[in-house]
Each structure stands twice: as structure tokens, then as C-alpha cells.
Structure 1
Amino acid sequence: MKKNFFLLLAVLLSAFFANNTLAQSQQQTIPAQEESSVDSIQNLNSKTKVEGFSVSWNLNYGIFQELKEKGYSISIRYNTKIGANRHSKGYENSDWTEVHNIDLNSTTYTITDLEGEQSYVYQVGLSNGDTQYWSSKQEAKTERSWGIFRFLVLIGALGMFIYGMKIMSEGLQQAAGSRLRYLLGSITSNRIKGILTGFGITSIVQSSSVTTVMTVSFVNAGLMTLVQSAGVMMGANIGTTITGWIINIFGFKVSIGSYALVLIAIGAPLMFFGKQKIKAWSSAIIGFSLLFMGLGFLKDAVPELDETSALVQFFVDFKDIPFLSTILFVFLGTLVTIIVQSSSAALALTMTLVAGGVIPFEVAAAMILGENIGTTITAELASTVGNVHAKRSARIHSLFNVIGVTWAVLLFPFLIDAIGAFMAAIGAGDPFNNPKEHANTGIAIFHTAFNLLNVLIMIWFVPWIVRVAERTVKSKGGVDEEFHLDYIGAGYMSTPDLSLLEAKKEIAKFGELTSRMSKFSRDLLFEKSRKKQKKLIERIGKYEEITDRVEVEVANYLSKISEGELSVDTAIRIRGMNSIVNDLERIGDIYYQISKSLERKAESKIWFSPNQRNRLDELFDLVDEAFEVMCENLTMHSADVSLEKAIKIEDSINKKRDQIRSEYLDALSKDDELHMKGGIIYNDVFASLEKVGDHIINVSEGIVGKV
């Protein structure tokens, strides 16, 4: 019995080892069992395609020859993820689609004609007709075909990029506060400092438009000449090239989009702090994150095209046409910038197309030139609602860029070759033959080099550019008597500091306008010609209407500023400005009443005595001196305003009024009929002029916050 047991045990062990040896032999020949991993199929991977995906793999070539001798070939089967789950549960109409007889030498296979935006499961296997072995299941995704949906996704991605840049720029402006304003306002010596300042501010806020707006504001205020503003705008052109480097380094070489939500997690809690500057930094951080999230979506939305696609071939074919192709793509870049209303967004789109292999390096470089023109057209359109200074500033910007693009187009082949040679010399790659890897670095270098060269060339012609701008944008005659706001007509600025600066300049202009009414009234007092008297009365009436409307417009503008969160200092300044415009409007009303009194005097053929005219003339002198001090104070920073001089002149006006009143009362006691007829009008005029003096001192007090 024991003998039989041991014999049976020996047979079983022999069978076990025999089967194990066979299995090991089969393991060398056939890499896997069904539904298990195939050892000989290595590096299994997939790549998303439009309405399809490509599968790649490697074979273990140690057993390649043996597989080939046994008649094996590669097979692939795939199913939707949902279909694969249904198939495992035995549902009908959920079978796998199989592809057979793929040569063993192949390492890739592309599956097409699938559903877009769908998840698939696939397996790669080995088959010789009789036996089929599959790898483990892998997942792949398909892209939606290019159409209206993906076009809208692209537009949305571009919109997120623009919005992110806007939020970031505004946040940086608010965080910097008045420092940027004072920095820009201090540029009074030479254009070199202007270039450095324009570069610095644009690099910080990442928006040449912000720098241009602030520059135009100072030109309008008389704090900066057109020549100085030209230097600042040249620097802004260099500063805006930083955007290209940021996109090139962080947008394509470093995946900041992956960390965007982390940055938002840091920035979002800062929104709930009470301090305005901390909130501003929150906006800057969130805007920065949205910018790169938008750039990431933009890269995914741009269609991936190979060298054989019709669109790529269009650009490749046209780029070889000398000169004409450059002009065509310059125009294309200009058009793109006008459409998206942002040179930075147009630059991001161009660099994304280059990274995707859609457009060659030469085409992108020409489009960059066009984007420099496109951004000036935007500024020209924005200046149409501004004053003559705004139009001239925009024209200087346009002339600078258009002239620069013109010489760049003429020298375009040499510039492109120089960029290629420079990149080869520094080991930055070849932008011509390997555009997906190195073209964007070439674009950033080209953009910077062009703007630097343009500044170095055009800086010597600034006075000529300014003269051309002044000749092409002429000041209209009689513009002072046409109602318009020169500084706040274009809308509310992005920060209270900049908005108050615009309002301050408008109020300074308002004060100068009311001072003219004093001159008109004095002329009316001594004018003997009825025709000229009528013109002066009409002019004073027109100015009075202007003062009424300016008060309403400035008050509304200040009200809009007050809707946001304000510091204590800003609130005091707004209250003072409201008081000032009210006093200036009252001055306009008083001079209008004086003109009507003098009109009645002329109609009644009443004449002031020589002594009365002399006394009024002396009072007008004092009032005009008070106006000079007031207008000077309106243009100064509130911290620099001294009320001593204004108070001294106000005392002189009061004393002169008392002197005139005393003489007038003495004259009334003589019952002189001539004095009786003109006495009431005479009393109205000198009393009104004293009231003007009161409102003038109120204006100076409003500047320093004594309301």
C-alpha cells in the first residue's frame, strides 16, 4: 500500500515539474496569458488625436525571431470605456473592435474615425491565427474635431488670458498706488529717463496701455511735454516685450498652469482682508494664475497639424514669396491685434501657433511686426474721444511703431537670418528647422531686438516726430468755448489714485476757465461799443452754461469713484473736490449776474463816474491776483499748498470792498441824481466781486481739505 502511495506521489511530482518546464518554455515563446500582461510588449502608450488616438509599443526583440517564425503578428482591440464595462457584464452590442495582422516590425498604429471627446479602452496583443494573447487594458482619449465648438473654446481661452492680464495689471496698479504716478510725473529732464521709466512701469504692470494712459494724463496736465512723453512711450514698447519672455519661459517651458490653482488658493484668502493694498495683491496673484490657465487652454485649443495639412502648407508656401509674404503676414498680425484688442493676447496666440507647428518662425516674426501696428490703431481709436493732446500722444505712438515696422519689413530677411545666427552662436537651437522646440525663443528675441533697435534709431528723431504729430493733429479754433471734458471724458480709471488725478486736472482747467470770465467782465465794464458789448455778454453767458455742465460732470465722476472702497485720505480729497467745483460754479453764476447788471446799465445809458470805474478796476486787479494764486494751487499737490498768500489777497479784497462801500455811502449822502441812478448797479458789481473773492479762498481751502 505504501509502495503504491509513493509511486503515485512520484508520478504527480513528475507531472508537476514537466508542466512547469513546459510553462517556462511557453513563457519564452508566448509573452502572456489571455487578459494578463504581455512581457514582450513593452512601453505601451497612447497619444490623443482628433477623433482618434495613436498607440505605440516596443517588442522584446530577444524573442522577436521566434515569434516571427511561429507566424505571430500584432493585434489591437479597442472599445469605449462604457462599452468595455458593458461587455464584461455580458450586454449585447458592446463587442470590441479588433485590428489584426499588424506587422511585427511596427511600433505604432493610429486608430481613426472615433467619437470625439470620448474615453476608450484598448489592448495590444499577439496572434498567429490559432492563439490570441492580449496585454492588460489601457485607457486613451480622443479630441473633438476642429469646428465651432473648439473655435469657441479657443476664443474662451483667449478671453481668459486677456481677463487674467487685465486683473493682474489692475491689481499691480492698485498695489503700487501713487508711487507709479509720482515716478512718471518726475520725468522732466530728458528722454533717456523717460525711456527707462516707461520700460520700468510697463514691465511692472505688464500693460503698455496703462503707461500710455498715464503719460497722456501728464501731458494734458502740462506736467510733461510731448517730447518727454515720446520717451516714455518708447520705453513702454520695450517693456511690453517682457510679456513674450514670460510666455516663452513660463508658458511653454514651465507648466505654471499646473500650479495656477495653488496660486489662487494663496491669493483668494487675501481678498477678505480689510487693507486695500492686500486686496490689490490678491487681484495680481489671481490675475497671474488666470493668465496662465488661459494660456494652457489656448495651447490645447489650437489644432495640432502636421506638415502635410493644408493650413500649414499655406503658410509654408507663402513665406517663400519675397517681400509680399512679409507684408501679408504683417497685415495678418495687425488684424489679429485689432480683433482681440490686446497686443499681449495676440502675441500669446502667435506663440501658441508656433509651438503647435501651425505657422513657421518667419511667419510668426512678421506677425509680431503687425501686432506692433495693431496696438497703435487701438490707441488711435481710444484717443478719438480725447482732447488734442491725447490724439497727438497716440499719433506719436503710431508714427514710432509704423516707421519702425517699415524699416523692419525692408530689412526683414537680414533680421531673420541675424536672429538665427545669434541663436546658433549662443546654443539656443534652430528656429527654422525645429520650430516646435526653439521658434518661440526666437520670437522673444526678435520682438525684443526689434523694439530695442527701433528705440535706438528713433530716439534721435523725437523732435521731428512731435512736429509731425502736431501738424497732423491740429487744434480746432474756438475749442475753449466748446463744452467738453479733456481729462475724464474717457471714463473711470482703474484706480482711485489715477481717477482723482484726472479729476484734479479737470478742476484745474475749470478754475482757469472761470478766471477768464473775470477778464471778460472787466472788458465789458470799459467797452463802449454796443456790438462788442453784446459779444462779451454772449461769451460770458456761454461760459456760465459751461460751468454748470462741468460741475455736474465732475460731480458725477467723483460720485463714481466714491462707489469703491476708499482710504480716509482719498475720501477727504473727494469731499474737497466736490466743494471746489461747487465754488467754481458759483463764481460763474456771479460773473453772469455782473454781466446782466452791466447790460442794464448800458441799455439805460447810465455811466459810472471816473472814480467809480477806477475803484472797480482796482478791485478787478485784486480778484485777478487771487485767481492766479487759486489756479496755481489747483495744479499743486495738496501737501505743497500754502494758504498764506491766498488769505492775504482775500483780506486785501475785503478792505478794498470796504473802501468802495464807504465812498459810495458818502456819495449817496449828497443826493447826486447821477449817483442814484447808477448806484444800485455799482453796489451790485463791487459786492459781487467781493463774493467772488470769498469763493476763491474757499477753493484754496478745499484743496487742503478745509471744507
Structure 2
Amino acid sequence: MSVNDISSLFSFIGGLGMFLYGMNIMADGMQKTAGSKMSQFLGMLTNNRLMAVLLGALITAIIQSSGATTVMVVGFVSAGVLNLTQAVGVIMGANIGTTITAWIVSMNQLGDAFAVFQPAFFAPLLIGIGAIFMLFGKKQRMKTAGEILVGLGLLFIGLDFMSSSISPYTDAPVFSEAFRLLGSNPLLGMIIGALVTALLQSSSASVGILQTLAMNGVVTTNAAIFITLGQNIGSCVTAMISSIGGSRTAKRAAVIHLTFNVMGAVIFGVISFILFSLHPVLAAHNITSVQISIFHTIFNLTNTALLFPFANQLVKLSGVFVPEDKKEPAVTDEESETMKHLDERIFESPAFAVETAAMEVVHMGQITMENVRRAMDAVLTKNANEVEDVYKTEQTINNMEKMLTEYLVKVNNLSLTERQKLVVNDLFYSINDIERVGDHAENLAEQAEYMVQHNISFSETGESDLHVICETAFNSFKHSINARQKGDMDDVRKVSQYEDEVDTLEEELREKHIERLSAGKCDPSAGVVFLDLISNLERISDHAYNLAGYVKDEM
């Protein structure tokens, strides 16, 4: 092997590295640009399968990876956010969306009219502009745009490096012999395509490499077709690995993806084999990168159109491959629900991961809110049964705080925008405040239990005053959770109003109660309990004010 051969090998490896890295940082930048808007897509996935297909294609076009989209779908299905029927549509759409990368790669072969799309023409300019945006941009949006431009530029330069390093060897017998073998053996071609895609964990990347070889005129039509079909099967590997250790439903989602792609590959493989047998000249003809893009797009569109009406049957078939596990425990408690929702597969999209964390913080807040109401009822009605329920739920709240904190630590290490980092920091503070509200609810329950055990009661005025401050404190906390859930400034303002009212009430009731004690109108032991109750209620409203303040800062 000569020095030139070694240099060409290094150029190919370097080009491949730039191509993969460029694709990665471009996808990362585009994902940041989409931000929280991506999380709204799921809300549109009702039972409209066509909408699910379109959104699956759009999301994949944005994040430049059908594998990542499918992994997220597996996570969402596992978390109960999507059902399997909705997941089928998104998976079908993901296969369509992945064709975008193939068209980007083949731009420089679209003819003289598209000369400006050639990598050598504009890739250096993109990297230069992107670097300026990243280094000198003051706004996060400009820095993110810089990432996208640098990623796109590196992708094209990587393609150029690979193409240049291969071009001197296009006449080498090894290429023609290899693709002749792959073209004459459909099964071998599919296996090679699947293996390369599985190793790279990206069908877009493996199709890009195949197109680079095609640019140099060394790929035959039959070999390209069978390898491309195999690449679509290989793209399922990421989701299959992701589903290991997941719920039965998550495994079924991964099986649906595999079944869908295998069926399409088999149908097209048989048709292609018959066609090439009848027209051997077509089979041996060299294929261009543009023609690979065309076939890749036609295959995914046709496969989706053929199997779209059979989505329910695909769901049923997945149940055959992944039978129900009778030993699998039913999810009944809140902690299990939270663990199920905090699926790390969603980390494939940081925007979704942040949104999921926010939803679970709201969930924790709603459980705490119910516990606060239960504790208040225990105080006002002296119901001992309510007290036991408060203690049980408080343990759940503490466990949820631990789970959410661990999850947020991992989310915080993802590639986040400045706003997403702010939200994650606020969520850290929020779960601490919510847990403290849970502690105050437990304090209220302890006082209720003490009142029952020692037969303590308040005067009619004291009971009335306690009822008023309980309702006001509860409203402040309720609106703080609503503010986090809806992001509504009206809720933030209401929290502030109720918190002021609670502060005023607490001060007034404390003075009035001391006056009753001084006048001998109230039992001293009851007085201590009363003061402790209103102090805990005032602290609940303080934490509610903190929670609303975090939402206000984000807005």
C-alpha cells in the first residue's frame, strides 16, 4: 500500500467523521430551534392516523433521524402518552421524513441549474457564517442557527472528502466485483445494508455513504436497490435495542416498526428481483445518487400507502410476536405511573424530555394538592380516617421528589437551549417547594390527629376563621399548579392575590386568637393547635407564591 493509498484512506475516514458529526450537530441545532413546539405535536395526534404520519415525517425531517424518532415513539408508548395505533402512524411518517437527508446529499448532482448546491461551492461559506454566529451571537437563537449552518457545512465537506478519496479507485475491480455479487444476491445486499445501518445507528448516514459511492459511478442499480431496502430494515435496530427492558407495549411499538419495514423490503425485494431478472441490462447499469434518492422516496411513500390501511392489523400482529406477560404487575400507584412516564428514551429529544419533566412536576403538584385538601378536611371535620390517607400520600410525594430530581439531573446534562435550562432549574426548585407543601399538609394532619385524641375543639368564630384561611391557602396553591400547567399569567396574579390575603388573615387571626386566650374565651391547648394550623397554612401559600414566581420568570 502506497503513501497515496494511505492518504486516501485517511481522507475517507476523515470525511466520514465530518459527515456523521455534521449531521449530528445540525440535527441537534434544528431540534433546539423546534424547542417546545415539538411537544405540541403529540397533542395533535388524537385518532387521526394521517396526521400522525405527517407529524412523524415532519419530526424526522427536523431531527434528521428516523431511528431517534422511533426511539422517542417507543418511549412515549411506554409512558402512555401515545397508544399503539397512533404510534403506527408516526413510525410510517418517520420513514418518509428520513428521505430528506438523501435529497440533501444528492443536491450536487441535480445538474448545472443547481450548481450553487454543490458542496464545494457553498459549504465553506456556511461554516464561516455559522462560526461567526456561534462565537459572536448574543442571542441563543443566533447561536443555534450557527450550529445548524456549521453542521450542514461539515456534512457537505465530509461528503466531498469521501467522494474525492474514492474517485481514484473507481476503476478498481474490487468495486465492480463487490456490487456484482451484492446485486446478484438480494438477500446478501439487504443484510449488508442492514448491518451498516445498525453499526452507524442511522439509515440517513448509511444511505449517504451509498450515494457517495454512486457519485463515483461504482454502484449498480440492483445492488443499490437491495442495499437500500436493507438499510430500512437496519434502521429498526436502534428502536429494538431501546425497547429491551421496557414494557410490553414499548416492545410492541418496536416490533411494529420492524414488521412494517420488513414487509416493505420483502414486497419491493421480490418485485425488484423479478424486474432485474427480466431486464439484466437495467440491473447492471450504474445508478446515480439522485436516482437513489428517488427510489428511497418512492419506496417509503409506496410502503406507507400500501400498509396505511392495515395499521390496526399491524398492532394485532405485534401482540402475537410480543405475547402478554401474565406475571407483569398492573400499574396502580402514583409512583409506578411516574416511573413509567419518566422514560429515558425520550432523551432522544431534549425538548420532549423537558416537557415530560414539567408534566410530571404538575402531576406531583396535583397529588400534593389533593393531600392538602384531605389534610384540611381532617382538621375541619376531625376525621381520623383522612389522617391515615394523608400519611400514606406524603410518602408517595417524597418518593416522587426523589425520582423527579434524579430525572432532572439527567435532563440537565442534555443539549438544552438557555430557556430549557432555565425551565429545568425552575423545576428543581418547584419539586422542592411542592414537597415542602406536602410536609405542611402532614403537619396539618398531625394536628387533626392530636385534636381527635385530646377532644380539642375551637369556638364557632375560630372554626369559621379557620375555614376561610384554609380555602384561601388552598386556592393559592391550586392556582400555582395551574400556572405551571397552563403557563397563564392570570393564575400567577391570582396566586399573588391569595398569598397576600393569607398573610393578612394569618396576622389578624393570630391577634384575635391571642385576645380570646387573654379573655379566657378559648382553651390554651386549643390555642396552641390553632396557631400552629394557621402558621402551616401561611407557609403553604408562601410556597405557592414561589411556584408562581418561577413560571413568571420563564414568561
CA contact (8 A) 1:541 1:592 kept: no
1:288–1:472 distance in 2 versus 1, CA, 3 Å: farther
Amino acid in structure 2 at the alignment position of 1:285:
L
Cα deviation, residue 409, structure 1: 0.7
Aligned residue for 1:318? 185
- 1:541 paired to 2:399: no
Taking a change above 3 Å as real, the CA distance of residues 357 and 300 of structure 1, as seen in their structure-2 partners, is same
Aligned to 1:695: 543
Using a 3 Å threshold, how does the CA distance of structure 1 residues 479 and 447 change in structure 2: closer, same or farther? farther
* Aligned counterparts of 2:282 and 2:447: Cα–Cα separation in 1: 80
- Using the alignment, how far apart are the partners of 1:186 and 1:379 within structure 2? 23
Pair 257,244 (structure 1): closer, same or farther in 2 beyond 3 Å: same
Q: Distance in 1 between matches of 2:261 and 2:347?
A: 32
Say whether residues 1:167 and 2:28 are aligned partners: no
* Counterpart in the other structure of 2:305: 456
Kindly report which structure 2 residues correspond to 1:335-414, keeping only aligned pairs within 5 A, or say none: 335-352=195-212, 360-382=220-242, 395-396=252-253, 398-410=255-267, 412-414=269-271
- Count the aligned residue pairs: 536
The CA deviation at 1:163 is 0.5
| Native 8 Å contact 2:228 2:296 kept in 1 | yes
Identify which of 429, 434, 441 aligns with 2:285: 434
Other structure's SS at 1:705 match: helix
Q: Could you list the per-position Cα deviations for residues 665-686 of structure 1 after superposition, in whole angstroms to 9, with x for gaps in the alignment?
A: 688579799x555653454344
Following superposition of structure 1 onto structure 2, how do residues 209-224 of structure 1 map, counting pairs within 5 Å? none
Partner of 1:444: 293
What is the percentage of aligned positions where both structures have the same residue? 27
- Cα drift, residue 240 of structure 1: 0.9
Which residue number corresponds to residue 292 of structure 1?
156
SS at match of 1:432: helix
Find the counterpart in structure 2 of residue 268 from structure 1: 131
State the SS of the aligned residue for 2:284: coil
Q: Give the partner amino acid of 2:437.
A: I
Equivalent residue letter for 2:441: Y
Query: Residue 121 of structure 1 corresponds to which residue in structure 2?
Result: none
Structure 2: runs of 5 or more not aligned: none
Residues of 1 paired with 2:292 and 2:493: CA distance?
A: 60
Q: 1:258 aligns with which of 120, 135, 138?
A: 120
Q: Structure 1 unaligned runs (5+)?
A: 1-50, 52-115, 119-142, 320-324
1:500: Cα distance to partner? 5.1
Structure 1 position 347, deviation (Å): 1.6
Task: Compare relative contact order (CA 8 Å, sep 6+) and give the higher one, 1 or 2.
Answer: 2
How does 1:426-575 map onto structure 2 within 5 Å?
A: 431-435=282-286, 437-438=287-288, 440-462=289-311, 477-478=331-332, 480-481=334-335, 484=339, 486-487=341-342, 501-518=355-372, 521=375, 528=384, 537-547=391-401, 550=404, 554=408, 556=409, 566=418
Change (3 A) 1:178 1:466: same
The whole-number CA distance in structure 2 between the counterparts of 1:571 and 1:625 is 29
Contact 2:476 2:495 in 1 (8 A): yes
Considering fraction of residues, name the structure with more helix: 2
Q: Distance in 2 between matches of 1:330 and 1:596?
A: 68
Q: CA deviation at 1:295?
A: 2.4
Please report the RMSD computed on the Cα atoms of aligned residues, expressed in angstroms. 5.1
Relative to the length of structure 2, the TM-score reads 0.74
Corresponding residue SS for 1:477: coil
State the alpha-carbon separation in 2 of the partners of residues 414 and 341 from structure 1. Answer: 28
* Alpha-carbon spacing, 1:706–1:160, altered in 2? closer, same or farther (3 Å): closer
CA contact (8 A) 2:390 2:442 kept: no
CA distance in 2, matches of 1:632, 1:420: 65
Could you say if the C-alpha distance between residues 402 and 230 of structure 1 is closer, same or farther in structure 2, counting changes exceeding 3 Å? Answer: closer
Identify which range, 571-580 or 158-167, moves more after superposition: 571-580
Cα pair distance change 1:681/1:243, threshold 3 Å: same
* Distance in 1 separating the partners of 2:498 and 2:95: 48
Which amino acid is 1:433 matched to?
A
Alpha-carbon deviation of 1:490?
A: 6.0
Residues 162 and 476 (structure 1), Cα distance of their counterparts in 2 relative to 1, 3 Å cut: farther
**What does residue 584 of structure 1 align with?**
434
Match of 1:106 in 2: none
How far off is 1:549 after superposition?
6.1
Provide, for residues 247-277 of structure 1, a one-character-per-residue CA deviation record: whole Å limited to 9, x for no partner.
2343797793433435434443333332433
- Per-residue CA deviation, residues 282-337 of structure 1 (Å, 9 max, x unaligned), is 32222122212322343456675527976456435533xxxxx2xx5444433322
CA distance in 2, matches of 1:519, 1:585: 15
Seen in structure 2, the aligned counterparts of structure 1 residues 393 and 195 have a Cα distance that, compared at 3 Å, is: farther
Structure number, greater radius of gyration: 1
TM-score of the superposition, structure 1-length normalised?
0.60
Q: CA deviation at 1:379?
A: 3.1
Conserved? CA contact 1:650–1:697, under 8 Å: yes
